[in-house]
Structure 1
């Protein structure tokens, strides 16, 4: 069975740069989660400081990138669907798969407790609804759902203007960092407070990002050369300061405004790179990854864990760079394959409560054109 490809993605009228941006973001997410999983497995990485440094750097902008991108679509989504239908959509495509896959992952970790790194107990099931940060990677889905629903309500029902939304988001963001510094754990509320401003920022710039008239400007090499030194300087400071303080979250929690500036500049740089990739139509396999980013997010930890166990226990491979590379590639390929197999056999309910309306909305078995890459 052939998997999803660019011909099908193009036929849906998707903007290529969005898939490129999502692909870059999800690969960075996989890097962090898999690297930390390998670290918890007590595999030595003392001679690979560069891998740890990359892990710190990537953390500075990857999650804000997702929230800004999601916020960019909120205006058009509200106009097209309306309040009730849009909230239902968010429930179907974010909250439902979050609960389903978080429950599945905890259950598997409990059953295979002698093989996995996670230490689980029955109490972990309650964390799904109260402390999502304790449920591995899944917290993001609940955070995005909560932020989206709250933003929809304040925008459509309270009629808050975008400037009030940004002001509210900044206040919430600063308060979230105050709670972090005070070591006050407020569970799922923290992520709502912390990321609301980035969602609002996405709404603020969304009409510019989605306007194809701006494509030439956003894909400009002059913009790239302007953003590059800012990006490098921000990432260098973020890395060195966190290393000096021996706290990977120091800048984010103790210098929140500076962290926001570093995160936003990082997002701007990635968006620019994505527009450039779209302009030259290169590395097209990234578009396939970007299109499947949500489904990769749901399953990559389980797949990477199984791959790591197989490589270490069966083949005795402990070389960290090799393990990291194989686990990332395997997690991407198998996640995409699992999704397409599920769609092929009508198991769409594994990923969403929204039933595909017709076959045109489902992945079609068409070969990628103009490229030799196969997924």
Structure 2
């Protein structure tokens, strides 16, 4: 069975390795934040590990913009293969549907296990699924990506907006999102559309260049690495210390949106360079496996991490925050992959998508879903 979980199809396919590397980096940073905050909310550590909190703040600046940029990079290619209606249907099947399924699963389990988990859930939370996804832990991203993708597709195809027009609109929406945040105007799911639409448009703008293999030698250059490193270091240093000075992780993003834009894009560029370097040398291949399964990790990692933390703390009596963080992070990355592969093996593909799996030639994994570029 192990070969069916860790088959070589992913590594030997025609997929672009750097995409999986980049998504692998991004999803691990997401896991870090959610697991670390789950540990601190449980009252463990009492703030004695400042360096872990520092890392949590730094990672926050670029991980979600990176996801939206990578997704936007493929929208033009997808539109060349599918009609507008087909592509929107595809987005519903692979984004909105798993969002709905896993929201219900997680909320239900959190209500049933309310004595053991940090989340304080009730039947009211089911009503937040469409209006206030930010109140449902990690799930807001899938809903936001669906809304941004569909809006971008419709405005591109029906209104014939060009990429530069989309960028202008996206920038205006981004600045508006800062305004509503500062003035505590709760727009629910609309806020995430305002915040990330421009990043998606930027991905569309640079998608052709990112997919141009003749440019890979520049993207994977150590000179590029050395050029980006000081920019990344200085920008992250400022982001960290300014937010600490102002008592949170959101000050720069909300009150200095233009500066945050520069900081986040510098982080995205640096992570992309690292992904291309990993592709160039074909190392740390486990990260590609993680990146391939990033969607499936995303939907279930909070449940897995919470269960792992409860066992480690309540049963085994472990109180070391670094140890809890490492163990929970490993489990939160591995167990969702195993759950997904098990589901595929037994034909439970409907847990993750409304689209039936496409059979792959010479595949060692029966019924494996072939994920679209936006998700893996």
Same fold (TM over 0.5): yes
Give yes or no for the alignment of 1:228 onto 2:239: no
Counterpart Cα distance in 2 of 1:304 and 1:363: 29
Q: What is the Cα deviation at residue 7 of structure 1?
A: 2.6
1:93 is matched with: 94
Shift in alpha-carbon separation, 1:262–1:361, aligned structure 2, 3 A? farther
Q: TM-score, normalised by structure 1?
A: 0.95
Give yes or no for the alignment of 1:316 onto 2:317: yes
Shift in alpha-carbon separation, 1:143–1:118, aligned structure 2, 3 A? same
Deviation sequence 1:211-251 (CA, Å, 0-9, x none): 11111110000000000000001100000000001121000
Shift in alpha-carbon separation, 1:178–1:362, aligned structure 2, 3 A? farther
Give yes or no for the alignment of 1:143 onto 2:144: yes
2:359 is matched with: 358
2:297 is matched with: 296
1:206 is matched with: 207
Shift in alpha-carbon separation, 1:255–1:357, aligned structure 2, 3 A? same
Shift in alpha-carbon separation, 1:121–1:34, aligned structure 2, 3 A? same
2:30 is matched with: 29
Q: What is the Cα deviation at residue 9 of structure 1?
A: 1.3
Checking the alignment, whether the CA contact within 8 Å between 1:4 and 1:363 is kept in structure 2 is: no
2:369 is matched with: none
Q: What is the Cα deviation at residue 81 of structure 1?
A: 1.3
Checking the alignment, whether the CA contact within 8 Å between 1:6 and 1:288 is kept in structure 2 is: no
Checking the alignment, whether the CA contact within 8 Å between 2:9 and 2:363 is kept in structure 1 is: no
1:92-241 matches, within 5 Å, as 92-241=93-242
Deviation sequence 1:107-166 (CA, Å, 0-9, x none): 000000000000011110010010000000000000000000000001111110111000
Counterpart Cα distance in 2 of 1:322 and 1:339: 26
Shift in alpha-carbon separation, 1:184–1:361, aligned structure 2, 3 A? farther
Shift in alpha-carbon separation, 1:363–1:135, aligned structure 2, 3 A? farther
Q: What is the Cα deviation at residue 358 of structure 1?
A: 1.9
Q: What is the Cα deviation at residue 361 of structure 1?
A: 9.6
Checking the alignment, whether the CA contact within 8 Å between 1:93 and 1:352 is kept in structure 2 is: yes
Counterpart Cα distance in 1 of 2:111 and 2:47: 30
Counterpart Cα distance in 1 of 2:46 and 2:59: 18
Counterpart Cα distance in 2 of 1:226 and 1:234: 13
Counterpart Cα distance in 2 of 1:87 and 1:5: 31
Matched pairs, number: 365
1:282 is matched with: 283
Moved more, 349-358 or 52-61: 349-358
Q: Secondary structure at the match of 1:287?
A: helix
Checking the alignment, whether the CA contact within 8 Å between 1:90 and 1:145 is kept in structure 2 is: yes
Counterpart Cα distance in 2 of 1:62 and 1:280: 23
Q: TM-score, normalised by structure 2?
A: 0.95
Give yes or no for the alignment of 1:20 onto 2:21: yes
Give yes or no for the alignment of 1:339 onto 2:362: no
Unaligned runs of 5+ in 1: 366-375
1:78 is matched with: 79
Checking the alignment, whether the CA contact within 8 Å between 2:11 and 2:288 is kept in structure 1 is: no
Counterpart Cα distance in 1 of 2:132 and 2:217: 43
Counterpart Cα distance in 1 of 2:122 and 2:336: 26
Shift in alpha-carbon separation, 1:212–1:123, aligned structure 2, 3 A? same
1:52 is matched with: 53
2:259 is matched with: 258
